[in-house]
Amino acid sequence: MTTIERTRTAEERSSGTSVWRTIRLFWADSLIALVVKRLFAGVATVLVVLAVVFLISNVIGDPAVLMLPPEATAEQVEALRTELGLDRPLFVQFAESFSGWITGDFGVSTWQGMPALPLAIESFAKTLYLAEVTLIVAVPLGVIFGLAAGRRPNSWVDRLITSISALGVSMPTFWLGLLLILVFAVTLRWFPTNGYGGLHYAVLPACAMALLPLGRIAQITRSSVADEMGKLYVTAARTRGLAEGAIGRQHVLRNAAIPVLTLIGSEVASLLNGIVIIEVIFAWPGIGSMLITSIQQRDLPLITASVAVIAAVAVLVNLIVDLAYLFIDPKVRR
């Protein structure tokens, strides 16, 4: 007994309790270095996306023609080209834009007459609000439904949830949005048909957007939980006398979370796609509406700034998901 005691304290002195050991492992694997590396890669990705936007608008099309109404004369186009410096070599223009992107200067919005980036960021804040409400609905409900179904495969709960999620996955978002407006705004008058304001305004667009990720998250959670429940380590835990609830909490949840987490990451990313159409339908003044309007207004700086914000957010979401893996899946930690 004393030998065990001694070994244990010596061991504790050298490597600490398990919490500290985990933190130490993180440092050893240098989490900071990883994050910095990924951030650089992310910035590079955003710059490449912006270069593509630049290429499309400057090489394939003529920004001066784009910015002017269709009936503009050749002289007007020429005048604008000179004014905006579009008559200079493309390389010089690109270098100028590029240094602007790096310093966060995307030029002045031709439509609003204000710096483009703050405008884009401000409208993104509104998108973020809508996305948050959507995720607050979709993620917990999706996970709860998936857990309930996966714990007892082929029970009536499972069948009910499986069919509802199949419905959610197959319903087009814009159509659901219109349906919700018709039922809850026009007929029942519970919620406003469109516009921006408090939670009241966010409910319908958020629900319209939530159904698809909710259904997908429920499906993946269900199959992931059912898979894990059938694995040998669950039976082994049972032979050690663990109660079903404890097996679920201590073993199944974390294993089942790995594919669910991947999905949530990609759902957040695709939410950014779907949100454009929903913002237009519900007249929600977010980044999606901003992008559409800036395209309609032929406002190149604002288009570029909006794309930059969207790309940066996508990169960040991916980084956060990858970091979450570190906490859940020890294999990623090496």
Q: What is the token pair recorded at 263? A: 């999905």
Q: Provide, rounded to whole angstroms, the least separation between the CB of residue 241 and another protein.
A: 3
Among 40, 175, 190, 233, binds another protein (CB under 8 A): 233
237 touches another protein (CB under 8 A): yes
Tell me how far, at minimum, the Cβ of 18 lies from another protein, in Å: 5
Dihedral sign, CA of 225, 230, 234, 238? positive
Q: Measure the CA dihedral 271/277/218/134, to 10°.
A: 70
Of 231, 249, 273, 320, the one binding another protein by CB under 8 A = 231
Helix count (H) and strand count (E) of the chain? 15, 0
Angle (nearest 5°) at CA 318 between 315 and 321: 150
Taking contact as CB under 8 A, which single stretch among the options 16-24, 49-57, 86-94, 123-131 is the one that binds another protein?
16-24
- 7 is a contact residue toward another protein (CB under 8 A): yes
Q: Are 110 and 299 in contact (CB under 8 A)?
A: yes
Q: CB 308 → another protein: shortest distance, Å?
A: 37
Q: Does 18 bind another protein (CB under 8 A)?
A: yes
Q: Which of residues 172-191 bind another protein (CB under 8 A)?
A: none
Rounded least distance, CB 153 to another protein, Å: 11
Q: Least Å distance between CB 163 and another protein?
A: 24
Q: Which two tokens stand for residue 21?
A: 């050991």
21 belongs to the binding site for another protein (CB under 8 A) = yes
Question: Can you tell me which of 60, 170, 240, 296 binds another protein, judged by CB under 8 A?
Answer: 240
Is the sign of the CA dihedral 97, 100, 102, 108 positive or negative? negative
Please tell me the distance from the alpha carbon of residue 253 to that of residue 92, in angstroms, as a whole number: 55
Stretch that binds another protein, among 179-187, 240-248, 260-268, 310-318 (CB under 8 A): 240-248
What distance lies between CA 327 and its chain's CA centroid? 19
**Whole-number Å distance between alpha carbons of 325 and 334:** 12
Residue from 74, 188, 232, 296 touching another protein (CB under 8 A): that is 232
Q: Contact between 5 and another protein (CB under 8 A)?
A: yes
Q: Is 97 in the site for another protein (CB under 8 A)?
A: no
6 binds another protein (CB under 8 A): no
For residue 135, the one-letter residue type is L
Q: Kindly calculate the radius of gyration of the chain based on its CA atoms and give it in whole angstroms.
A: 26
Q: Which is nearer to another protein, 103 or 239 (CB)?
A: 239
Interaction of residue 2 with another protein, rule CB under 8 A: no
String of DSSP letters for 133-192: HHHHHHHHHHHHHHHHHHHSTTSHHHHHHHHHHHHHHHS-HHHHHHHHIIIIIIIS-SS-
Binding mask 258-287 for another protein (x = CB under 8 A): x-----------------------------
Q: Which residues bind another protein (CB under 8 A)?
A: 4-5, 7-8, 11, 15, 18, 21-22, 231-233, 235-243, 250-251, 254-255, 258, 328-331
